[in-house]
Structure formats: structure tokens, C-alpha cells
Structure 1
């Protein structure tokens, strides 16, 4: 059914929490992540079928696509989608395998609008984003596996001195910012390679920070940034 239409027919749906949404929509299946454990008892009380899936790794996402396809009676379509995703991953790996692997630092969240860098959360080793960097022909400038998403100071950036910085700002418009304003704040650490060589990039698509089936779009964005020497559009 048309979920959007159902929501329009009820007063102020934007003010609801998930308990009200579930009571109104009465879905046949709810898909949740392990961190949504607190929802399971509520779903069970309502008699709503639910399924817990993982999205910490690309392999988790691919397995989840197959599982959801099987449960929803669309296994053939799910397998076709997975085949397409794997093919696109392999194409990128093939094109970048013999190239240098720049050291890339990804910022996934920070305080903005002050004109300088504050509270910058970056991606650590052994994470979803770290995996995508590897597939895209780069390597994580922050290689430690001790912390998944540490906060880095300006001094920390100078110490790591990445070749490329990718600043993920999916809510850039809601913050009243634009790409030039975001890039301007990186000039406060102009001594590092990425800033000095104009290799700081802003990704503002919503899929940038949401691990899910659209990971392939982020992977292709990363590959284009990291290896701009490849004529991707001709492939």
C-alpha cells in the first residue's frame, strides 16, 4: 500500500514516534537493526512480525538483501540485485588494483559554522567506511582498529597528514551551509597535504552516511574522488 498516502490522511504525522506509526500502518513485516533491540518487545506485543538484520559491513548488507528477498517472496530479484552490486564492486577493484593507494581521511560528522574545525568524528579501521575505501582503491589514513569513530583534533590531522579528506555532510542544507562554506573551514589546517593540494571534498548525498543497499553509490563516489585520473564515465 501507499505509506505516504496513509500518513497524509492522519493529523501531524511528523510529530509521531515509531509506536504510533506502527499502530497506524500495521505493517506485515518490520526490519530493524541490532541496535533497535528495544523495539522487539513492543513489536511482539502488537503481533507484528519483525526481522533483525546487520549493516556493519558490505557483506552484511549483501546477505541482508538476499534474506529480505527470500522472506518477501522476491528472492530472484534480490539475487539479480546482488549480482549487479558485486559486478560493480569488481569493476572498481579491477580498474584501481595497479594504482597507488592514497591515504584518505573521512569525516562523518563535526561541529560546523564556527569557521574552524571542531569535534571532527572520523572513520577508524575495520569499519564499513574503511572497507569501502579499500574497495575504492584507497587506504584509511587512520589505521587503528581500537576506535571505530574517534574524534580528531586539528593537531591530529597534522599528525596523520592525509592525501585526501572527504567531509560527509548529508544535512548541509538544513544547517544553512553550502559546499564553499564547508570547505573554507578546512583552510584552518592548510599545512596538510590534502588541503594544500585542494583535495578536500564534500559529499552531501543522504546515502553517504547510511549503510545500506545504496552503498554502491557511495563506493562509486569514493572511487571517482580517490582516482580522478580514471575516465570513469567512459566505462
Structure 2
């Protein structure tokens, strides 16, 4: 994996919760499921948590990073892509939306390698002018339980070069890409035709996956990000 000095710094966006409980404490907290930093570490990176902050600080934050992961989480506010809220859309997370959109735009502007996971893929699409399907059946099996389904890579894409075969992935989402953002191309599909990965062409390392690699055992996507960050 390389010496500590060789390990690129990978920022990972986090939840901002009004109350969390551990030990004898119940306090506001910045949270990140352990699978994210463990996946970064297993791929040879140093993980740094990025809790919501002033969007104007995103450029400065990204300038300190070698790579960026925008993590999964709550539904993106439909107002962010010019849609009316539908009944099954979850409650808004305005601080995360604003911060993570600013992080994505800063990463795109600076050429910082970027991986969006689930919500992160959806935000990448929205940041580039795309829209979302607000409810999709069949990609969440049970509330609070990750499911699994197959995704098929598109040959010749960045994702296809990392994972060239059909693979089974951990999944938990009820929204998906509708209209693609500017410059994005699909790089994997589910069996029902849902776009499961998107990426930006032009030689940049910008990838979004709709599933949760941090909940599985396949580290190839994160290894690709860390490799690009090291380079």
C-alpha cells in the first residue's frame, strides 16, 4: 500500500446530525459510517472527514485534498434541480446539499479526482444540470437493510476499465438519475435499465456509482480513486 508519506489524503463528506448517542453521551455530531474510511484506508489512502461547512470554504478545503468522496445519505432536495417535491421524497438536508454541491464544483474546477457514492452520484448529476427520479421501486429491499443486485459495465468507460465484468453490488436507494448532467455519460446499468454509474469524459477522474461499495468487499472503485489521487 505504500509508506505513510505516499498515502494520498482523501476527503469524505459526512452526515450532520442533531443528536447521536455513544457511551453516556447524546449530542449533536458529524457522523460517517465506518465503511467509508475503512475502504479508503484499505485502498491505500488517508481518510479525512468533511462535515458540512460554509460553501464558500469548499474551494479551500478541496485544495488541501488529493481526492474527494461524496458519501451517501438523504435525498437531494428537488428544488436543487427545479422539481416539485413528491410525497415519497425524504426530508431535506439543506446544509449537506449546499456544502457537498460546493465541494463537487470545487473538485471539478480543480481537476481533483472525485467519487460520488449513491447520494453523491445524484449530487454530481445535479451539480452538472441534471435531474433525478424522485422514487424508484425495486432497489431497496427492506428499510434499513442493504440489498444486492447486478450491474453491467459499459465497455470503454472508466468504470468498465476498473470492473470489466458484470458484478453484484450492495444497494440501498429509491432515487436515480433522470436527465444526465452536462458532460456525464452512463458507465453501468442495472438489469432494469437504471443508470447505476456515471462519469465525466475528457480524461478526468470523475465517477459516480449508485450503489455502496463501502458495504461490500470489492475495493476496485476506491482503489481507482486513490490511484488517481496518488498520481
Asked if TM exceeds 0.5, the reply is no
Give the structure with the higher percent strand: 2
What TM-score range do you get, normalising by the shorter chain? 0.3 to 0.5
Normalising by the residue count of structure 1, what TM-score does the alignment of the two structures yield?
Answer: 0.33
Larger helix fraction of residues = 1
TM-score (norm 2): 0.33
